[in-house]
Structure 1
Amino acid sequence: KKLYYILSEELASLGVGRDRLFDILRANKLLIKRQKSYHITTNSHHRFRKHANLIENLEVTRPEQVWVADITYLGNRKNPMYLSLVTDAYSKKIIGYHLDNTLEVSSTVEALDMAIKNRMYPDKKLIHHSDRGLQYCSNIYQDILSKHNIKCSMTESYDPYQNAIAERVNGILKQEFFMNTTHLNIKIMKKIVKQSIAIYNSKRPHWSCFFKTPNQTHQQNKMKIKSYRKKTSSKAIALDDV
């Protein structure tokens, strides 16, 4: 859908509609294949304080109102890599990131430091939302949030819908940018991550942002982003459609 939107003028001049474009992509094996993978990166059995969920019924109406943080697994058992991400819930822009071979707190701190450095609206109130993993509950991470007057919010049970934006962004990076390539070393993967996130932020339109890119959406606050509700719950979830 995003590709059809980007190429709409060129395709119209060739007499190619959406269905025909999909047929062409399918014939050339260029359609995105959905892959389900599950790897635990969250250790919530620890001594650190777990915070309440502050965004469950919150309507996100501007950039830098809510950040969502998550860790996604790349690589394999012989070559494990973990990508820490901080994403803006309104614009879907990846604000901070860091790739490492371990799940050390220092990796998530690197991503958070980048996000804070990249803030465009430092005077606005901001909530940081994540799971209850040790990395986010740690004293080091919490001290940085407190230092910058960022409120902490956490999922109160394991429910993928509660951190749906982070999960969706993880899927986009793996499925559309081939970040699930497992045989490359971390030095090369860091370059791929950097280039992919730059393209993701500046060139990939989002359905929930009315086909604007994350960068475009992040530079304004007039647009009311599309959201979806879980049928069995009253929770509002901002998601990107396929």
Structure 2
Amino acid sequence: MTRQSYYQHFWQQEAVGFEQELVLKEVLRIRLTHRRMGGRKLYELLEPFMLEHHIKMGRDALFDLLVANNLLIKRRKRKIHTTQSFHWLRKYPNLIRDMRPSQPNQLWVSDITYWKITSGHLYISFVTDAYSHKIVGYHVADTLESIETIKALSVAIEESTKPLKNLIHHSDRGYNTVHQAMFHCYESME
């Protein structure tokens, strides 16, 4: 190693340390008003600052810097649970274990998700064809009641253009998913 490269290494380390210190001060300044701001948004806010100070730092390097200084915000855990598997209703056997559908309308899978809005939450019940991965029925409601999932299944049945013979309708074992809707599905197909 030459004497020049030896000293250049230390000068570069010193320059990088100075740049990182500037970025950290700016991050702390931003965090005074935005305590829960994530790394990606923080990076977008820091880009003009870094351009102004001729600092070359990518998003991953910023993340590494935030982690090293305990400034990366941890994600909050999800508080809403749409599945409650410990209920008194009959738990049906899993008919689709190791099953691979070979055609549409052979296996429908149902689930519920939610969307946070200013006045609370909206719950979206949907039915997906496992073969085509197409959503064949959905319903948006402001409650997690079983009747809402039945409406999603009813939409799927009404919109179906092909026969629904030997259709398996699968949901997780949650109380509010479509256990009651399975009976409704069979009644509608008869």
SS of residue in 2 equivalent to 1:136? coil
Residues 142-197 of structure 1 deviation map (CA, whole Å, 9 limit, x = unaligned)? 320331459xxxxxxxxxxxxxxxxxxxxxxxxxxxxxxxxxxxxxxxxxxxxxxx
Give the CA RMSD over aligned residues.
2.7
Q: Give the counterpart of 1:131 among 159, 163, 172.
A: 172
Q: Comparing 71-80 with 83-92, which one deviates more in the overlay?
A: 71-80
C-alpha distance in 1 between matches for 2:84 and 2:93: 17
1:145 maps to 185
SS of residue in 2 equivalent to 1:87? strand
TM superposition score normalised by structure 1: 0.43
TM superposition score normalised by structure 2: 0.54
Number of aligned residues = 116
Q: Give the counterpart of 1:87 among 116, 128, 147.
A: 128
Q: Map 1:1-242 to 2 at 5 A.
A: 38=78, 39-76=80-117, 78-136=119-177, 138-139=179-180, 141-148=181-188
1:240 maps to none
Gaps (5+ residues) in structure 1? 1-34, 151-242
Q: CA deviation at 1:130?
A: 0.8
Q: Which has the higher helix share?
A: 2
Q: CA deviation at 1:59?
A: 1.7
SS of residue in 2 equivalent to 1:109? helix
